[in-house]
Amino acid sequence: MELINPERPFVIAGPCSAESEEQLLSTAMGLKEIGIKVFRAGLWKPRTKPGSFEGVGAVGLQWLSRVKIETGMLTCVEVANASHVKSSLKAGIDILWIGARTSANPFAVQEIADTLKGCDITVLVKNPVNPDVDLWIGAIERLQNSGISRIYAVHRGFSTYERGLFRNIPHWYIPIELKRRLPEVPMLCDPSHIAGRRDLILQISQQSMDLGFDGLMIESHINPQSALSDKEQQVTPEELKRILSSIVIRDYEGTPGLLNELRREIDEIDDRLLTLIARRMHVAREIGRCKRSNNIPILQPTRYEHLVTQKVSSAESLQLDPDFIKRILEAMHEESVRQQLTIINSSEEV
């Protein structure tokens, strides 16, 4: 795919929301100075609850045109319906993005895709708020079906009910799965919305670069403390410069001999693990037969509890993460029970 900018990381930056012409221009000037080439700003911002700042709306399109003329940067806005798309196209916006709440809604995505039919424009598709890779891929496919050829995916984390370290939990395996299924779609990371707080932006950006993401979308405001939305997660252009210069890009494309050796070793270990798991399942079926002939029920919770506690404590002395080992043991136990159930219910001779 033709990239907007092949350098890595490719960075899009700008405020969460456009608030005034002055705020947009001063932020854009600051970002241009640090070498940013694509400027973002949200114009339509329906928030979780009505009544707070809901964006400046279409008037911001004229401010963005001024940003483009005065800085030469490309402009990028969020669209959530046909009318946003039409007015953005008319105003000469270069890149559109579909927000996380919109990409969770196939009605809205289809409406946007229909409006964009035949347009030569770049569209960024943020992951849906819920952790559903098929829904994310579906949104991308709706745009591809409308003939949009420059599509980027943006990972901005997933909404959860529990309050944790992140505003939106990253679930890295989901963008990784998207990349596996759509390798031609470049992937950006939006650490601002994952973090919800500026002190985590560098760490999340670094992780995304280590995972081979192509770029970053980072919220930047000339004066974050006065921002009308998402003020805790925005950084000034100078702070952004510091973040970007701290990121280490690992882009050596060769495969050193040691890496090949280590990979061979991992493959061999995986083969041994598979053989051991097959043996474990064989024994589980034997246990099933024994329980059947002695009329013993399959589940004995005390035995299982004992097994998990004992193994988790051995895992700890081997410096293995206890939660990780618990997840593996639970998955294996679940499968063993399933195997025993097939034995107990089979008509196989005792």
- Selected from 11, 12, 13, 16, the binder of ligand PEP by CB under 6 A is 16
Q: Which of residues 92-111 bind ligand PEP (CB under 6 A)?
A: 99-100
- Selected from 14, 42, 186, 237, the binder of ligand PEP by CB under 6 A is 42
- Selected from 170, 194, 230, 236, the binder of Mn ion by CB under 5 A is 230
Give the Cα separation of 32 and 74 in Å (integer).
Answer: 11
Binding mask 113-152 for ligand PEP (x = CB under 6 A): -------------x--------------------------
Among Mn ion, ligand PEP, none, residue 155 binds (CB under 5-8 Å by kind): none
Interface with ligand PEP: number of residues (CB under 6 A): 8
Q: Which residues contact 173 (CB under 8 A, 6 or more apart)?
A: none
Among Mn ion, ligand PEP, none, residue 126 binds (CB under 5-8 Å by kind): ligand PEP
Render the burial of 180-204: b for 16+ CB within 10 Å, e for the rest. eebeebbbbbbbbbbbbebebbbeb
Residue 108 or 343: the one with the smaller Cβ distance to ligand PEP is 108
Residues composing the chain: 350
One-letter amino acid at 133 equals: V
Interface with Mn ion: number of residues (CB under 5 A): 2
Contact call for residues 315 and 325 (beta carbons, < 8 A): yes
Place of tokens 């679930």: 171
Task: Decide: is 16 part of the binding site for Mn ion (CB under 5 A).
Answer: yes
Residue 125 or 315: the one with the smaller Cβ distance to ligand PEP is 125
Contact call for residues 266 and 252 (beta carbons, < 8 A): no
Residue 223 has a CB neighbour count (10 Å cut-off) of 13
Lookup: tokens for 199 = 């002190």
Footprint of Mn ion (CB under 5 A): 16, 230
Footprint of ligand PEP (CB under 6 A): 16, 42, 99-100, 126, 156, 190, 193
